[in-house]
Each structure stands twice: as structure tokens, then as C-alpha cells.
Amino acid sequence: MRTVRKKVTIYTGLIVLSMFFMVPFLWMLSSSLKLDKDVLTVPICWIPEIPQWQNYVHIWKRIPLLQYTVNTAKITICTTIIQLFTSSFAAYAFAKLEFKYRDRLFLAYIGTIAVPWQVYMVPQFIMLRSLNLNDTHLAIILLHAFTAFGVFLMRQFYMSIPDELCEAARIDGMSEYKIYAKIMLPLSKPALSTLAIFTFVNTWNDFLGPYIYLTTKMKKTIQIGLRVFMDDYTQEYGMIMAASVLSLIPVMIIFLSLQKYFVEGIASTGVKG
């Protein structure tokens, strides 16, 4: 009897709490299928009588959503590739090679993890502007592609791979580049996946970077485009919500299919700090 009551308490708690997290998304979905005038009405109608599917059609014409998506995809994919390649490359040297100033250099990397981006966003903008990179996608890519966090994450993973493996390959006459490409890289798939997902989601969702740098309408990303649309047409709730739903889909697909790597990534970097 006691265990039954306990179970009921746990499930009730979980369901109530998960409603708290889910309701905003359900509301978003429901409103995206309504006429603007029906979004804010009493009593609440969760399932619209006549779903306004055309919201999802019209939005593509109201704002250049396709262009925004292409821009965001381009920035996100380039950033992720550069990040994975350069981080894993540098991390290999920090973990498995010996050279002068190795530890000091690594300390400089770690040190900057503690400096929030907000502290240097202004000088960074000034520098990129002086390189004539403001209002370019390249600026956003460069902004995100060389993080100390990526090097740190990959290094931690490589440290867990026994040195003997590299030593044996060296005795066989393999060059360091070959050891990296043929041995380390295939072994580090879990860490690479974690880094890829985090970079993808962060870049896709980034608001402040594109907001500071991109001024031309056709160069904007989904997040900025969405924000501009919301500012210009505050009352068009139906379409704002439809655009919001669409902007969530790519991240949702990645998240649901690769959730395992998210959870493992947070658990391993989180607990260790």
C-alpha cells in the first residue's frame, strides 16, 4: 500500500512538473494554427476549430525565411566543421606530444574559458570591423569556431586513451599525422559527437553574435529574422508562433536523435568542471 502511494506521488509530481515545461511549447503550436484575433481569448481553446495551416505557408512569403535558414545552416555547418577539425588537432598535441611551453599554452586556453564573451565582445567587434568583416557571415563563423572549450573537451578525452597506443604506432613508423588520423580520430567519436552537437545548437540558436554583426536584411539568421518580424508585426501572433515552431525543428531533430551525447557531454564536463 505504501509503495503504491509513493508511486502515485512521484508520477503526479512528474506529470505536473513536466506540464510546466511543456505548456509553452503546446501553446506555441496551438497558437500557430490560429487567427491572430483568436490567440488571446478567454476561454482558452487549445485545439483550434479551423486550423489555420496557411500561417505556415504565408510566413515564407512575409519574411525571407528560406534565405534565413540557408544563412543559418551555412554559418552553423562551417563553424562546426572548423571547430571539430582545429580543436581535435590541437588537443592531440596538448594530450600526446611533448613540446616547449605546452603546459603554459594550455593554461592560457583554460584561462580564457573563465572570461565571458560579454567581456570582450566590444573589442572583438572593433577588431573584426577593422578587418572589414562586419556584416559578413565569416565574422560569425570566426567568432564561434576557435573556442578554448573545444580544445579542452577533446584533450580530456584524449588523455583517457593510453599513451602506449601511440607509442606502438610510432615504433611501427607511423607519423604523428597518421596516428592522429588513423588511431585517435576514430577512437574519439563520442567526444567529437558531443562537441559537434554543442557547437551546432549554440551556433544555430545564437542571438547576440548575429545581432551585433549582421545588418543587411538578406544576410540575417533565423533568430534575428524572427526577432525583427516580431518587432515589426507585434500583433501577428499566429504567424510569429508559426515561425517560432519552424525555427525549433532542426534543433529538435538533432536533439531527439542524439540526446545521448548531450546528456553524456553535460554529465562529464559538468561534474568535473
CA atoms within 13 A on the CB side of 121: 12
Q: Residue 67 CB: number of other CB atoms within 10 A?
A: 16
Contact predicate 220/226, CB 8 Å: no
Which among 48, 12, 8 has a CA at the least distance from the CA of 27? 48
Supply the DSSP string of 189-225, one letter for each residue: HHHHHHHHHHHHHHHHH--HHHHHH--SGGG--HHHH
Cβ nearer to another protein, comparing 77 with 258: 258
| Residue in 77, 176, 181, 187 binding another protein, rule: CB under 8 A | 176
Q: With binding defined as CB under 8 A, does residue 75 bind another protein?
A: no
Q: Min. distance of Cβ 150 from another protein in angstroms?
A: 8
Name the residue type at position 10: I
The minimum distance between CB 142 and another protein, in angstroms, equals 5
Under the criterion CB under 8 A, does residue 94 sit at the interface with another protein? yes
Query: Of the candidates 8, 207, 218, 253, which one interacts with another protein according to CB under 8 A?
Result: 207
Q: Can you tell me which of 45, 126, 159, 218 binds another protein, judged by CB under 8 A?
A: 126
Q: For the chain, what is the largest distance between any 2 Cα atoms, rounded to a whole number of angstroms?
A: 76
Residues in 8-47 that interact with another protein by CB under 8 A = 10-11, 13-14, 17-18, 20-25, 27-28, 31, 39-44
Query: Does 230 sit near another protein (CB under 8 A)?
Result: yes
Among 67, 124, 134, 193, binds another protein (CB under 8 A): 124
Cβ proximity to another protein: between 10 and 218 the closer is 10
- 53 sits near another protein (criterion: CB under 8 A): no
CB 144 within 8 A of CB 81: no
Binding mask 132-171 for another protein (x = CB under 8 A): ----------xx-xxxx-xx--------------------
Closest to another protein by CB, 57 vs 97, is: 97
- C-alpha distances (whole Å) from 244 to each of 14, 26, 70, 113, 225 are 27, 12, 16, 31, 11
Q: How many residues bind another protein (CB under 8 A)?
A: 97
Query: Least separation, in Å, of the C-beta of 21 and another protein?
Result: 5
Nearest distance from C-beta of residue 265 to another protein, angstroms: 9
String of DSSP letters for 76-141:
HHHHHHHHHHHHHHHHHHHHH---TTHHHHHHHHHHHHTS-HHHHHHHHHHHHHHTT-TTSHHHHH
Sole binder of another protein in the list 120, 138, 163, 232 (CB under 8 A): 120
> What radius of gyration do the chain's Cα atoms show?
24
**CB of 183: closest distance to another protein in angstroms?**
14
Among 63, 140, 191, 201, binds another protein (CB under 8 A): 201
Contact pick of 93, 140, 192, 214 for another protein (by CB under 8 A) = 93
Contact 227, 207 (CB under 8 A): yes
